[in-house]
Structure 1
């Protein structure tokens, strides 16, 4: 394997352009330094310097090597600074999100990060495997509406970050009914799956209604698209259709379903958490 010390000696000679000055700087004898350079050349199988008079001039391979060496040392310095929490380089913020999670909600969560700038945001969508990646420190946070099951909760911290009212949303001509009973009895419905659906099933059972269900989707983005296409009245948290409601394209029925959806941020214990987490979750 490449020897870090060999690279350090090579870098000193390359930047000094003179073996004597580099040896003095490193507090080594010239012969010892020369031996280290030869060992690196032997490892790479290429000459790193041409001697021009008293100067050592980098060969083409030497120029390539010093470019890599400088970046390696910079990375090493950054590692030390990161662990000492004195780094000025901003690490990427790695966010996992349940694939069915509202894109509008994700944007609400990320908006403070995007507004301040300076951080690269890496987004990954998926399912239960996101928690495995979080546990392996491959993500900084996972956004979900489903907190970890008791068997998978060990080692994770669940932060409740928002709760959204769930309503019925659709084109205005579908929402003219005077009662919730009439609306649910006469309009086709677009329903999501999961906890919201279970709560809604309990509601219609209490009302004694068997509604017409035109579509079911496990992705809130699809629920949103179907509502925009006027396929029916959508059951969804307000945030899912916030843009369409604000523009007047869709409206919200004036009935309180007494249903909510809770949004969570899941984190794993770390000695060096991402600096944004305290701000976003505090």
Structure 2
């Protein structure tokens, strides 16, 4: 039975990732001659050349590509094991790490967090940001779940998304827009709007709604931050199209008014997880059971 030196495998993996022995040596803080020697020892132990040099650059051979895929799985699984074991604190509390897109209404994230505490004894870490950044973090197992209002692209094949709710969308505004309730939605013609950014599915659905109804609106601001959109709406900067679920409390407090419903326009919310050998029990429970309550 042949024996694999995992230090050599790690060195190979970093060289392949960095694209050169010089960069890998700097990252690993190992001398280049020593790194070259240990790479050679790995190649001799498996009987295959892993790199070929072209124009002073290293390129993976076919055997190198296969080795890289296996090395990637080995180190991802190792990191996952360390995370899973270290996530159990001394009081047996599970560390649950969740991401949320800026564009997801904050009360939705709050509902997910409250459900996490009901699912088990846990300590929660929340990371907010942009979609592609957070999907990459999820793929790298730097978080357990992601709350989003769109699904990951086909580039993220190891991610699994589940719809947790389709929310009715309404147009809201401050007191000065209350007269627009009459003759809605025709009354929206030419009115100022604070819209979600063009990357979101909701924005595309809104543009489609306005086109079908032959309405031209004045987009005075775009933001992917749902909290900022609500604040601008309350200040009267423009009308805001948002999930009814997100404004119920503000309507009760008379901080904002619902001008009208947008029939056929929904905001769909998703929970996304990454494929893992060792599942976080809180994440597994939410992926199986959590739904947004109407």
With normalisation by structure 2, the TM-score equals 0.61
Give secondary structure in 1 for the equivalent of 2:241. Answer: strand
Structure with bigger gyration radius:
1
Q: Is 1:207 aligned to residue 221 of structure 2? A: no
Q: Could you tell which deviates more after superposition, 114-123 or 222-231?
A: 114-123
- Name 2:100's counterpart in structure 1: 97
Aligned residues of 1:96 and 1:124 also touching (Cα < 8 A): yes
Q: Could you tell which deviates more after superposition, 179-188 or 189-198?
A: 179-188
* Equivalences, count: 201
Aligned residues of 2:186 and 2:215 also touching (Cα < 8 A): no
| Residue of structure 2 aligned with 1:183, choices 159, 182, 187 | 187
Q: Is 1:121 aligned to residue 124 of structure 2? A: yes
Q: Is 1:264 aligned to residue 270 of structure 2? A: yes
Aligned residues of 1:156 and 1:267 also touching (Cα < 8 A): yes
- Name 1:139's counterpart in structure 2: 143
Give, in angstroms, the shift of residue 215 of structure 1: 1.8
Measure, in 1, the Cα distance between the counterparts of 2:142 and 2:266: 31
- Name 1:171's counterpart in structure 2: 174
Measure, in 1, the Cα distance between the counterparts of 2:119 and 2:208: 43
With normalisation by structure 1, the TM-score equals 0.64
Give, in angstroms, the shift of residue 172 of structure 1: 4.0
- What's the RMSD between the two structures over aligned residues? 2.7
- Name 2:256's counterpart in structure 1: 250
Measure, in 2, the Cα distance between the counterparts of 1:207 and 1:233: 17
Give secondary structure in 2 for the equivalent of 1:142. Answer: strand
Give secondary structure in 1 for the equivalent of 2:128. Answer: strand
Aligned residues of 2:94 and 2:121 also touching (Cα < 8 A): no
The superposition leaves residues 203-228 of structure 1 with CA deviations (integer Å, 9 ceiling, x where unpaired) of: 22122222222222122121111011
Give secondary structure in 2 for the equivalent of 1:254. Answer: strand
- Name 1:230's counterpart in structure 2: 236
